[in-house]
A and B are shown apart, each in its own frame.
Chain A
């Protein structure tokens, strides 16, 4: 979905970024996995989010977009993306989550008018395990959305410096 010109000023304002990030995720899950994400009423239990994918943003928007979920959700994403070719999807879960994170980041950047144009994305990095802490050194803006994919939490965060 593209944003009309009358909405472009609004799209460049940060208070609109959470719904735009959610829309970006919904479009990726809808088109590439055939799935709808639900809003989560409760915060995600931290120890269940053992797969983290991250894409760095550089240029006019500088920071990190992360997508965290459980390894079961990651494997399910691979299965949904591979469809009938889904045999062995578990071994592809890092690849699938990395590409989903990449598409959410790209789709989000394409929706925030003016700023996205000068922003570059890195290739995704995927970490498995939950025993780590992530520290952005010059962090001046953080936003997270918490969604449910087949009843399991997916947390997508944007940290900007």
Chain B
């Protein structure tokens, strides 16, 4: 997939940059990177713009990542857009909650660029 638009949702702006760098290191051809610092902002972005992939933290103020994933189906623009969680929350219950709410992948922080590649490429290829 070429020149994809990615939305990175994390309350840490430093982490948003690290995630973007990891995606580029994974060899993704990224056209545009959009950013949001919580779930509410991310929903607002998605109401305005079409994206190909969302990477989303869980622990954030205003609206956390799990609530964001649950609310995502209400956004017309975001239908079928894959969401991959990138979070410090590693417990089985968080993984189950995220995946059953519709997330397509789950990456635990701290992570390597290889782990990002391993999780994201199959999702973008439609295999997960």
Using a CB–CB distance below 8 Å, which chain A residues touch chain B? 27-28, 30-32, 78, 81-85, 92, 95-96, 98-99, 102-103, 105-107, 109-110, 116-119, 121-123
Bound complex: CA of A107 vs CA of B91, how far in Å?
A: 10
B110 near A: Cβ within 8 Å? yes
Secondary structure class of chain A's binding surface, majority of residues: helix
Q: Which residues of A contact B13 (CB under 8 A)?
A: 92, 95
One of A107, A117, A118 near B88 (C-beta < 8 A): A107
Cross-chain pairs A/B with CB under 8 angstroms, 15 sampled? A81-B18, A92-B13, A92-B14, A95-B13, A96-B12, A102-B12, A103-B110, A106-B88, A106-B89, A106-B90, A107-B109, A110-B91, A116-B91, A117-B92, A123-B60
> Contact between B11 and A81 (Cβ–Cβ < 8 Å)?
no
* Chain B positions 32-46 with a Cβ under 8 Å from a chain A Cβ: none
Given A103-B88, A106-B89, A110-B90, A98-B12 contact (CB < 8 Å): yes
Residues of B in contact (CB 8 Å), total 23
Using a CB–CB distance below 8 Å, which chain B residues touch chain A? 11-15, 17-18, 21, 59-61, 87-93, 108-112
> Contact between B110 and A27 (Cβ–Cβ < 8 Å)?
yes
> Contact between B59 and A103 (Cβ–Cβ < 8 Å)?
no
